[in-house]
Chain A
Amino acid sequence: EAGVVQSPRYKIIEKKQPVAFWCNPISGHNTLYWYLQNLGQGPELLIRYENEEAVDDSQLPKDRFSAERLKGVDSTLKIQPAELGDSAVYLCASSLQSTYNEQFFGPGTRLTVL
Protein backbone atom coordinates (compact mmCIF):
# COMPACT_ATOMS: atom_id res chain seq x y z
CA GLU A 1 0.00 0.00 0.00
CA ALA A 2 1.40 3.39 -0.98
CA GLY A 3 1.89 5.88 1.80
CA VAL A 4 1.15 9.58 1.87
CA VAL A 5 2.92 11.28 -1.00
CA GLN A 6 4.13 14.86 -0.85
CA SER A 7 5.89 17.01 -3.38
CA PRO A 8 8.19 18.70 -3.67
CA ARG A 9 10.45 17.41 -0.92
CA TYR A 10 12.46 20.61 -0.86
CA LYS A 11 11.70 24.13 -2.02
CA ILE A 12 13.80 27.27 -1.90
CA ILE A 13 12.19 30.57 -2.80
CA GLU A 14 12.74 34.25 -2.24
CA LYS A 15 10.45 36.16 0.06
CA LYS A 16 7.28 37.55 -1.45
CA GLN A 17 7.17 34.71 -3.98
CA PRO A 18 4.27 32.25 -4.05
CA VAL A 19 4.74 28.56 -3.30
CA ALA A 20 2.52 25.51 -3.40
CA PHE A 21 2.76 22.08 -1.82
CA TRP A 22 0.93 18.99 -2.96
CA CYS A 23 -0.26 15.99 -0.97
CA ASN A 24 -1.81 12.72 -2.06
CA PRO A 25 -3.21 10.81 0.93
CA ILE A 26 -3.53 7.08 1.31
CA SER A 27 -6.31 5.73 -0.85
CA GLY A 28 -9.60 5.63 0.98
CA HIS A 29 -8.57 8.01 3.75
CA ASN A 30 -11.28 10.59 4.27
CA THR A 31 -9.37 12.85 6.63
CA LEU A 32 -6.41 14.92 5.53
CA TYR A 33 -4.24 17.15 7.70
CA TRP A 34 -1.68 19.83 6.95
CA TYR A 35 0.85 20.57 9.67
CA LEU A 36 3.67 23.06 10.01
CA GLN A 37 6.78 21.95 11.87
CA ASN A 38 9.38 24.51 12.86
CA LEU A 39 12.89 23.40 13.68
CA GLY A 40 13.05 21.81 17.11
CA GLN A 41 9.29 21.90 17.58
CA GLY A 42 6.39 19.53 17.24
CA PRO A 43 3.96 19.74 14.34
CA GLU A 44 1.21 22.36 14.54
CA LEU A 45 -2.05 21.74 12.78
CA LEU A 46 -2.87 24.20 10.01
CA ILE A 47 -6.00 22.67 8.53
CA ARG A 48 -7.99 19.45 8.61
CA TYR A 49 -10.26 18.18 5.87
CA GLU A 50 -13.07 15.68 6.07
CA ASN A 51 -13.43 14.67 2.44
CA GLU A 52 -13.50 18.00 0.60
CA GLU A 53 -14.70 20.07 3.56
CA ALA A 54 -12.27 22.05 5.70
CA VAL A 55 -13.59 21.28 9.20
CA ASP A 56 -10.81 22.93 11.19
CA ASP A 57 -8.81 25.80 9.71
CA SER A 58 -8.63 27.92 12.85
CA GLN A 59 -4.81 27.91 12.84
CA LEU A 60 -4.39 28.69 9.15
CA PRO A 61 -3.09 32.25 8.55
CA LYS A 62 -5.71 33.10 6.01
CA ASP A 63 -4.14 36.34 4.88
CA ARG A 64 -1.41 34.44 3.06
CA PHE A 65 -2.20 30.74 3.32
CA SER A 66 -4.85 28.87 1.41
CA ALA A 67 -5.65 25.23 0.88
CA GLU A 68 -7.97 23.14 -1.18
CA ARG A 69 -8.95 19.53 -1.47
CA LEU A 70 -10.95 19.20 -4.61
CA LYS A 71 -12.87 15.95 -5.03
CA GLY A 72 -11.84 14.97 -1.51
CA VAL A 73 -8.63 13.25 -2.56
CA ASP A 74 -5.37 15.12 -3.02
CA SER A 75 -4.76 18.54 -1.57
CA THR A 76 -2.73 21.67 -2.24
CA LEU A 77 -1.45 24.14 0.33
CA LYS A 78 -0.42 27.54 -0.97
CA ILE A 79 1.45 30.48 0.51
CA GLN A 80 1.28 33.85 -1.20
CA PRO A 81 3.36 35.82 -0.57
CA ALA A 82 5.93 33.84 1.40
CA GLU A 83 7.74 35.45 4.31
CA LEU A 84 11.05 34.57 5.95
CA GLY A 85 9.21 33.15 8.95
CA ASP A 86 7.46 30.60 6.76
CA SER A 87 10.64 28.56 6.50
CA ALA A 88 9.68 25.21 8.02
CA VAL A 89 8.68 21.67 7.16
CA TYR A 90 5.12 21.25 5.94
CA LEU A 91 3.72 17.84 6.76
CA CYS A 92 0.67 16.19 5.31
CA ALA A 93 -1.09 13.32 7.07
CA SER A 94 -4.18 11.25 6.46
CA SER A 95 -6.43 8.90 8.38
CA LEU A 96 -9.50 6.85 7.60
CA GLN A 97 -11.60 9.22 9.68
CA SER A 98 -10.96 11.86 12.34
CA THR A 99 -11.99 9.39 15.00
CA TYR A 100 -9.46 6.88 13.81
CA ASN A 101 -6.47 6.52 16.07
CA GLU A 102 -3.64 6.52 13.62
CA GLN A 103 -2.55 9.30 11.32
CA PHE A 104 -0.16 8.39 8.55
CA PHE A 105 2.34 11.10 7.70
CA GLY A 106 4.09 11.94 4.49
CA PRO A 107 7.81 12.79 4.31
CA GLY A 108 7.12 16.53 4.37
CA THR A 109 8.22 19.48 2.26
CA ARG A 110 11.10 21.52 3.61
CA LEU A 111 10.59 25.17 2.65
CA THR A 112 13.38 27.70 2.81
CA VAL A 113 12.48 31.34 2.24
CA LEU A 114 15.46 33.60 1.46
Chain B
Amino acid sequence: AQKITQTQPGMFVQEKEAVTLDCTYDTSDQSYGLFWYKQPSSGEMIFLIYQGSYDEQNATEGRYSLNFQKARKSANLVISASQLGDSAMYFCAMREGPFYQFYFGTGTSLTVIP
Protein backbone atom coordinates (compact mmCIF):
# COMPACT_ATOMS: atom_id res chain seq x y z
CA ALA B 1 0.00 0.00 0.00
CA GLN B 2 1.12 3.53 -0.72
CA LYS B 3 2.28 5.39 2.32
CA ILE B 4 1.25 8.78 0.89
CA THR B 5 -1.50 9.28 -1.67
CA GLN B 6 -2.06 12.48 -3.58
CA THR B 7 -5.00 11.98 -5.91
CA GLN B 8 -4.86 15.30 -7.74
CA PRO B 9 -2.20 15.24 -10.48
CA GLY B 10 -3.02 18.82 -11.45
CA MET B 11 -4.98 21.71 -10.00
CA PHE B 12 -5.86 25.17 -11.23
CA VAL B 13 -6.78 28.13 -9.07
CA GLN B 14 -7.59 31.74 -9.76
CA GLU B 15 -5.19 34.28 -8.34
CA LYS B 16 -6.23 35.47 -4.86
CA GLU B 17 -8.49 32.46 -4.36
CA ALA B 18 -7.89 29.65 -1.85
CA VAL B 19 -7.04 26.12 -2.91
CA THR B 20 -6.90 22.78 -1.11
CA LEU B 21 -4.43 20.08 -2.08
CA ASP B 22 -5.38 16.61 -0.87
CA CYS B 23 -3.15 14.13 0.92
CA THR B 24 -3.97 10.87 2.65
CA TYR B 25 -1.48 8.70 4.47
CA ASP B 26 -1.15 5.17 5.73
CA THR B 27 0.63 4.26 8.94
CA SER B 28 0.09 2.10 11.98
CA ASP B 29 2.43 4.20 14.11
CA GLN B 30 1.09 6.47 16.82
CA SER B 31 3.91 8.94 16.41
CA TYR B 32 4.56 10.35 12.99
CA GLY B 33 5.04 13.64 11.20
CA LEU B 34 3.43 15.08 8.11
CA PHE B 35 5.05 17.59 5.80
CA TRP B 36 4.32 19.62 2.74
CA TYR B 37 7.01 20.70 0.30
CA LYS B 38 6.89 22.96 -2.74
CA GLN B 39 9.02 22.23 -5.79
CA PRO B 40 9.19 25.06 -8.35
CA SER B 41 10.42 24.43 -11.86
CA SER B 42 13.93 25.21 -10.65
CA GLY B 43 13.83 21.83 -8.90
CA GLU B 44 14.65 22.73 -5.32
CA MET B 45 12.32 21.34 -2.65
CA ILE B 46 11.10 24.00 -0.25
CA PHE B 47 9.68 23.09 3.15
CA LEU B 48 6.27 24.67 3.77
CA ILE B 49 4.63 23.23 6.85
CA TYR B 50 4.78 20.44 9.44
CA GLN B 51 2.14 18.67 11.53
CA GLY B 52 2.97 16.24 14.29
CA SER B 53 0.59 13.37 14.97
CA TYR B 54 0.11 14.52 18.55
CA ASP B 55 -0.50 18.14 17.66
CA GLU B 56 -4.09 18.97 18.47
CA GLN B 57 -4.24 22.16 16.49
CA ASN B 58 -3.82 22.43 12.76
CA ALA B 59 -0.47 23.84 11.73
CA THR B 60 -0.35 27.23 10.05
CA GLU B 61 2.51 29.10 8.39
CA GLY B 62 1.51 32.37 6.82
CA ARG B 63 -0.79 31.60 3.88
CA TYR B 64 -0.35 27.86 4.37
CA SER B 65 -2.41 25.76 6.72
CA LEU B 66 -2.62 22.04 7.15
CA ASN B 67 -6.07 20.53 7.63
CA PHE B 68 -5.22 17.53 9.80
CA GLN B 69 -7.95 14.91 10.20
CA LYS B 70 -6.35 12.10 12.12
CA ALA B 71 -9.25 9.65 12.05
CA ARG B 72 -9.49 9.97 8.30
CA LYS B 73 -5.70 9.94 7.92
CA SER B 74 -5.73 13.05 5.81
CA ALA B 75 -3.43 16.04 5.84
CA ASN B 76 -4.64 18.49 3.23
CA LEU B 77 -2.74 21.67 2.45
CA VAL B 78 -4.74 24.86 2.18
CA ILE B 79 -3.18 27.83 0.41
CA SER B 80 -5.08 31.05 0.95
CA ALA B 81 -4.95 34.05 -1.36
CA SER B 82 -3.06 32.26 -4.13
CA GLN B 83 -0.28 34.11 -5.89
CA LEU B 84 1.28 33.52 -9.29
CA GLY B 85 4.46 32.43 -7.55
CA ASP B 86 2.59 29.56 -5.96
CA SER B 87 2.56 27.72 -9.29
CA ALA B 88 4.69 24.64 -8.63
CA MET B 89 4.61 20.96 -7.70
CA TYR B 90 3.48 20.25 -4.16
CA PHE B 91 4.50 17.12 -2.31
CA CYS B 92 3.02 15.65 0.83
CA ALA B 93 5.40 13.57 2.93
CA MET B 94 5.38 11.51 6.11
CA ARG B 95 8.06 10.58 8.59
CA GLU B 96 7.39 7.46 10.65
CA GLY B 97 9.00 4.64 12.50
CA PRO B 98 11.82 4.39 15.00
CA PHE B 99 14.31 5.10 12.23
CA TYR B 100 12.47 8.19 10.95
CA GLN B 101 11.78 6.81 7.50
CA PHE B 102 10.56 9.40 5.06
CA TYR B 103 7.96 8.88 2.33
CA PHE B 104 6.81 11.32 -0.35
CA GLY B 105 3.64 11.30 -2.43
CA THR B 106 3.59 11.65 -6.20
CA GLY B 107 2.80 15.34 -6.04
CA THR B 108 0.18 17.78 -7.29
CA SER B 109 0.95 20.35 -9.95
CA LEU B 110 -0.67 23.66 -9.04
CA THR B 111 -1.18 26.38 -11.62
CA VAL B 112 -2.31 29.81 -10.52
CA ILE B 113 -4.23 31.65 -13.22
CA PRO B 114 -4.04 35.46 -13.36
Question: CB within 8 Å of B: which residues of A?
Answer: 33, 40-45, 48, 55-56, 89, 91, 93, 98-99, 101-108, 110
Contacts and interface: CB of A to CB of B under 8 A. Distances in A.
B99 A44 contact: no
Interface in B16-52: 33, 35, 37, 42-47, 50
Contact of A42 (B33, B42, B105): B105
Interface of B: 4, 33, 35, 37, 42-47, 50, 91, 93, 99-107
A33 B101 CA distance: 11
Chain B interface, >50% SS class: strand
B60 to A, nearest CB: 14
A104 B47 contact: yes
B106 to A, nearest CB: 5
B45 A55 contact: no
Contact of A103 (B4, B47, B101): B47
B42 A107 contact: yes
Nearest to A3: B44
